[in-house]
A and B are shown apart, each in its own frame.
Chain A
Amino acid sequence: EAQVTQNPRYLITVTGKKLTVTCSQNMNHEYMSWYRQDPGLGLRQIYYSMNVEVTDKGDVPEGYKVSRKEKRNFPLILESPSPNQTSLYFCASSLKISGGGLNTEAFFGQGTRLTVV
């Protein structure tokens, strides 16, 4: 079954304690992305990756890191989490992206609800 898998689904952590949210897709997609969803703000892009070893900042990258060492995996790293990073996080993948932008559908993971206290 084609899917994007995130782990963990729920996480409560303390300020400053480094954490990693994993994301894996089994569709051989080139493009992967992380979004955060906050009430009233919709989804905002944190980071994206066009392919292995190619990553770039989205709209709200501060406080986050990513890596893309393998095509299927795109972990999100919070080196020193703060309470304003409490949010619902989604990983998404798409087949590819062209100069014309994202012209195919995006597949989303089930989300990771992160609480930083």
Chain B
Amino acid sequence: SQQGEEDPQALSIQEGENATMNCSYKTSINNLQWYRQNSGRGLVHLILIRSNEREKHSGRLRVTLDTSKKSSSLLITASRAADTASYFCATARTGRRALTFGSGTRLQVQP
């Protein structure tokens, strides 16, 4: 079953702009992770935020988590053409031995 749902499904911006992607989920989680996938390739881990954390930064990435609203957002600042990829949120639930992925946001950064 789909746990995380990303919004928007597709996003096109100009280089230098910020990109914001949202993820909603349905059940209690242990942590939430964001991954990037370049076209047809493997997923690369970007950042993990635990259920007791509200915000986390990594370079140009900023992730927020609101467990009361069961939602998270990924902000990429000063985007680059190389950021063009699909971005997935994945939730890890207590007692569940898998990550549950959403269907992703396709980000296109125009040079």
A75 in contact (CB, < 8 A): no
B59 in contact (CB, < 8 A): no
- Tell me if A42 and B98 are in contact (CB < 8 A): no
A110 in contact (CB, < 8 A): yes
A contacts with B: majority SS: strand
- Tell me if B92 and A42 are in contact (CB < 8 A): no
A88 in contact (CB, < 8 A): yes
B contacts with A: majority SS: loop
- Tell me if A108 and B98 are in contact (CB < 8 A): no
Interface size of B by CB at 8 A reads 29
Complex-state Cα separation, A35 to B40, whole angstroms: 14
B99 in contact (CB, < 8 A): yes
A102 in contact (CB, < 8 A): yes
- Provide the residues of chain A in CB contact with B93, threshold 8 Å: 101
Given contacts A48-B98, A101-B94, A102-B97, contact A59 B40 (CB under 8 A): no
Q: Please, which residue of chain A has its CB at the minimum distance from the CB of B43?
A: A108
Cross-chain contact of A102 among B4, B40, B92 (Cβ < 8 A) = B92
Chain B contacts with A in 35-81, Cβ cutoff 8 A? 35, 40-45, 48, 50
Q: Which of B98, B99, B103 has the most CB of A within 10 A?
A: B98
Chain B contacts with A in 70-108, Cβ cutoff 8 A? 88, 90, 92-99, 101-104
Cross-chain contact of A43 among B41, B88, B94 (Cβ < 8 A) = B88
- 13 A-B interface contacts by CB (under 8 A): A43-B43, A43-B88, A44-B101, A59-B1, A101-B30, A101-B95, A102-B31, A102-B97, A103-B30, A103-B92, A105-B45, A108-B35, A108-B44
Q: Hey, which bits of chain A sit against chain B, CB under 8 A?
A: 4, 31, 33, 35, 40-45, 48, 50, 56, 58-59, 88, 90, 92, 97, 99-111, 113
